[in-house]
Amino acid sequence: MSNPVGSLSEGTVYASRIGMTEDSLATLERNRSSGEPWDMGETKPSVEALERGMPGLYLSCFDMLLTEDATWLVKVSEASPALAVPMSRMEPREEPEQCPVIDSQEQGLSPGLEGQEEERSLEQVQSMVVGEVLKDIETACKLLNITPDPIEWNTGNVQKWLLWTEHLYRLPHAGKAFQELTGKDLCAMSEEEFRQRSPQCGDTLHAHLDIWKSAAWMKERCSVGDTKTAGSEELWSEADSSCSGQPIHLWQFLRELLLKPHSYGRCIRWLNKEKGIFKIEDSAHVARLWGLRKNRPAMNYDKLSRSIRQYYKKGIIRKPDVSQRLVYQFVHPV
DNA sequence: AATAAGGAGATAA
DNA sequence: TTATCTCCTTATT
């Protein structure tokens, strides 16, 4: 029983999850602009952008995957009559080929097929949105070196996740209130219990954990081999690809950050992607992320840059021809 | 004060 | 042994 909700009947699951998710998102909405003690830059997950673009859709997509019930389609249709609009408002991704694209070849449809077609495109939207969420979670997992399923977290993993979520959403630090808790403990806690531990952001943390739990539950569900959710499974394996295997190298890590300007563009970005020239805009931030990834709390830019300089003789990274502060160049741009 | 370049020993996988 | 991590000195911006 990795997810308490999973053991409920389908009907109950549907009702309870709708309620849960709406609460969660309302909470996230409420807390979006809360004060933050972190200076981690403007790192905002795309989940938030999606929320902003299509709030009704976001929650519905999750729920649709969580049930076989198709009534959500009606809900979504009512909530956002013009589905094409949120689509066009989607922020462009750096890897567009990974996003299921709604094809526009449904012009000459017979009226009777309209509902079917709508369902099909909604399914595509849904898998795309879910894919975004899964990718965000996957990114966090790689960065923190934790598993996607909160139930498997030990106390250290829990702390990492808290730290991460706090800095991502600019929440006040509340890690101490959850110090001895494992992921299993965390998952068993109600929103009220979260609030008791952390009055300021307990509800927000609970909401985010809920999303992670849902994602993990979905992943488990997909891995059973459901044809209807095969698309999501592909997204998972795609996202999983780079997190399996050997410990990550610094240059790989830097590439990962550079590949996600949406999330990290404010701390590291390409000056010339073709030539592999990049600039570290916030050295402290990048060092902190690297330390997080490698479990080195004492990491700083002095040490990180020393590691980068080790790449000089290895021919992996060099200083660009016109040397500038905090600017480096991959010797073999891809 | 921050960053750059390397030397050199320590450490973890 | 490799790939950092850590600490340090000296020079540059």
Q: What is the CATH number of the domain that holds A141?
A: 1.10.150.50
Section A167-178 average pLDDT: 84
**Which of A97-111, A120-134, A270-284 shows the lowest per-residue confidence on average (mean pLDDT)?**
A97-111
Q: Is A328 helix (H, G, I), strand (E, B) or coil?
A: strand
Residue bearing the bigger pLDDT, A119 or A103: A119
A278 touches strand B (CB under 7 A): no
A312 touches strand B (CB under 7 A): yes
A74 domain-assigned: no
Q: What is the pLDDT of residues A116-172, one digit of tens each?
A: 455 445 445 556 667 778 888 888 888 888 888 898 888 888 998 988 888 888 888
Rounded Cα gap, residues A317 and A333, in angstroms:
10
| Distance CA A258 to C1' C7 in A | 29
Percent of all residues in chain A with a pLDDT value above 90, rounded to a whole number: 23
Please name the nucleotide lying closest to A302, CA to C1'.
Answer: B3
Q: What is the pLDDT of residue A15?
A: 35
Please name the nucleotide lying closest to A326, CA to C1'.
Answer: B3
Whether A201 and A259 map to the same domain: the answer is no
**A178: pLDDT strictly greater than 70:** yes
Q: Which residues contact A177 (CB under 8 A, 6 or more apart)?
A: A197, A198, A202
A273 touches strand C (CB under 7 A): no
A243 domain-assigned: no
A295 domain-assigned: yes
Section A169-189 average pLDDT: 85
Q: What is the pLDDT of residue A41?
A: 37
* Both tokens assigned to A54: 């299509």
User: What residue spans of A146-229 are helical by DSSP H?
Assistant: 155-168, 183-188, 191-197, 202-223
| Distance CA A153 to C1' B11 in A | 26
Q: Which of A221, A240, A262 is the last residue of a domain?
A: A221
Whether A192 and A271 map to the same domain: the answer is no
Q: How does the average pLDDT of chain A come out, rounded?
A: 66
Enter the pTM of the model: 0.43
Find the CATH number of the domain harbouring A310: 1.10.10.10
A313 touches strand C (CB under 7 A): no
* Both tokens assigned to A14: 């549907």
Phi-psi region of A315 (alpha: psi -120 to 50; beta: other; left: phi over 0): left
A205 domain-assigned: yes
Tell me if A38 sits within 8 A of A170, measured CB to CB: yes
Q: What is the pLDDT of residue A128?
A: 65
Please name the nucleotide lying closest to A249, CA to C1'.
Answer: C3
Whether A130 and A215 map to the same domain: the answer is yes
Whether A210 and A132 map to the same domain: the answer is yes
Q: Tell me, rounded to whole angstroms, the distance of Cα A311 from its chain centroid.
A: 30
CA proximity to A293, closest of A138, A134, A133, A141: A141
How many C-beta neighbours within 10 Å does residue A331 have?
13
Please name the nucleotide lying closest to A282, CA to C1'.
Answer: B2
Residue bearing the bigger pLDDT, A204 or A58: A204
How many C-beta neighbours within 10 Å does residue A112 have?
7
Whether A147 and A211 map to the same domain: the answer is yes
A309 touches strand B (CB under 7 A): yes
Rounded Cα gap, residues A288 and A247, in angstroms:
17
Question: Could you tell me the residue range of the domain that residue A286 belongs to?
Answer: 250-330
**A79: pLDDT strictly greater than 70:** no
A83 domain-assigned: no
A323 touches strand B (CB under 7 A): yes
A46 domain-assigned: no
| Distance CA A295 to C1' B13 in A | 14
**A1: pLDDT strictly greater than 60:** no
**Which of A71-80, A142-151, A250-259 shows the lowest per-residue confidence on average (mean pLDDT)?**
A71-80
> Crossing angle for the helix pair A114-144 and A202-223, nearest 10 degrees?
110
A327 touches strand C (CB under 7 A): no
CA-based radius of gyration for chain A:
21
Residue bearing the bigger pLDDT, A79 or A165: A165
A302 touches strand C (CB under 7 A): yes
* Both tokens assigned to A47: 């989940």
Whether A257 and A296 map to the same domain: the answer is yes
A196 touches strand C (CB under 7 A): no
Percent of all residues in chain A with a pLDDT value above 70, rounded to a whole number: 53
Instruction: Evaluate the CA torsion angle A265, A37, A186, A205 in order and state its sign.
Output: negative
Give the number of domains in chain A.
Answer: 2
Q: What is the pLDDT of residue A325?
A: 97
Q: How far is CA A232 from CA A61, A126, A261, in A?
A: 12, 10, 24
Whether A142 and A208 map to the same domain: the answer is yes
Q: Which of A221, A241, A265 is the last residue of a domain?
A: A221
A323 domain-assigned: yes
| Distance CA A306 to C1' C8 in A | 12
Whether A214 and A130 map to the same domain: the answer is yes
A275 touches strand B (CB under 7 A): no
Whether A217 and A129 map to the same domain: the answer is yes
A308 domain-assigned: yes
Whether A132 and A215 map to the same domain: the answer is yes
Q: Is A284 helix (H, G, I), strand (E, B) or coil?
A: helix
Whether A208 and A271 map to the same domain: the answer is no
Q: Tell me, rounded to whole angstroms, the distance of Cα A113 from its chain centroid.
A: 35
Whether A179 and A261 map to the same domain: the answer is no
Q: What is the pLDDT of residue A225?
A: 42
Q: Which of A221, A238, A263 is the last residue of a domain?
A: A221
Q: What is the pLDDT of residue A56?
A: 35
3-state SS, A111-159, equals: HHHHHHHHHHHHHHHHHHHHHHHHHHHHHHHHHHCCCCCHHHCCHHHHH
| Distance CA A272 to C1' B5 in A | 24
Q: What is the pLDDT of residue A280?
A: 97
Q: What is the pLDDT of residues A196-247, one digit of tens each?
A: 888 888 888 988 888 888 787 766 655 554 433 333 333 333 333 244 467 8
| Distance CA A201 to C1' C7 in A | 39
